[in-house]
């Protein structure tokens, strides 16, 4: 393991102009295809946690990949935070800003017990809009966010700062 996870960085592919011109898309699908790289990613995400949380929360849809594997690795349950309208039970929802307009994230109102310690996981933090919405949902359910854990952080977009302003500890394995 190198301190800045250059071995994992080498497994991430950059695709220019996706989903639109000017964007450098960091593609984690090449990392996932590499069995050792995927396992190392999960171990290093886990090693960022000071204590074992009660639940891992994953954000729809790429966040599910890392959150599910982490939950299995740590022996915790998994909480799904989804686009509004996808969950069948009673939900609470939070709006977040898109470049044009807004969207909503939701979680089941009974998904975590009051006082539960929940670690938030996603593949990437950009502007932090979805992560802030997810953290607020967890707090509204009476649980606490022990930290937010990302494979990739896009530092220029300042999502980590926005999440820290909510009182959440932020960790990213690889920064661009």
- 3-state class of 120 per DSSP? strand
Which of 4, 6, 27, 95 lies at the binding interface for a second copy (CB under 8 A)? 27
For residue 49, CA distances in Å to 15, 56, 67 come to: 31, 11, 13
Residues 6+ apart with CB under 8 A from 74: 46, 49, 52, 53, 56
Shortest reach from residue 33's CB to a second copy, in Å:
4
- d(C-alpha 90, C-alpha 13), whole Å: 39
Residue 134's φ and ψ, nearest 5 degrees, are -65, -45
The footprint of a second copy on residues 102-161 (CB under 8 A) is 108, 111-112
The footprint of a second copy on residues 68-87 (CB under 8 A) is 68-69, 71-73, 75-80, 82, 86-87
Shortest reach from residue 86's CB to a second copy, in Å:
8
DSSP H or E stretch at residue 146: strand 144-153
89 touches a second copy (CB under 8 A): yes
165 touches a second copy (CB under 8 A): no
**Binding footprint of a second copy on the chain (CB under 8 A):** 13, 15, 18-19, 25, 27, 29, 32-35, 38-39, 42, 55, 58, 60-62, 64-69, 71-73, 75-80, 82, 86-89, 108, 111-112
């Amino acid at each position: 393991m190198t301190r800045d996870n250059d071995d994992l960085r080498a497994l991430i592919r950059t695709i220019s102009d996706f989903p639109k011109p000017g964007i450098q898309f960091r593609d984690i699908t090449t990392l996932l295809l590499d069995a050792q790289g995927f396992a190392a990613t999960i171990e290093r995400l886990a090693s960022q946690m000071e204590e074992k949380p009660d639940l891992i929360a994953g954000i729809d849809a790429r966040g599910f990949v890392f959150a599910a594997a982490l939950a299995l690795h740590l022996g915790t349950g998994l909480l799904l935070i989804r686009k509004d309208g996808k969950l069948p039970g009673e939900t609470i929802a939070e709006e977040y800003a898109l470049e044009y307009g807004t969207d909503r994230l939701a979680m089941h109102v009974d998904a975590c017990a009051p006082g539960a310690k929940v670690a938030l996981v996603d593949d990437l933090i950009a502007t932090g809009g979805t992560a802030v919405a997810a953290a607020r949902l967890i707090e509204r359910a009476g649980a606490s966010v022990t930290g937010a854990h990302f494979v990739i952080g896009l530092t220029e977009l300042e999502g980590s700062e926005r999440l820290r302003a909510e009182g959440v500890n932020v960790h990213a394995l690889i920064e661009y």
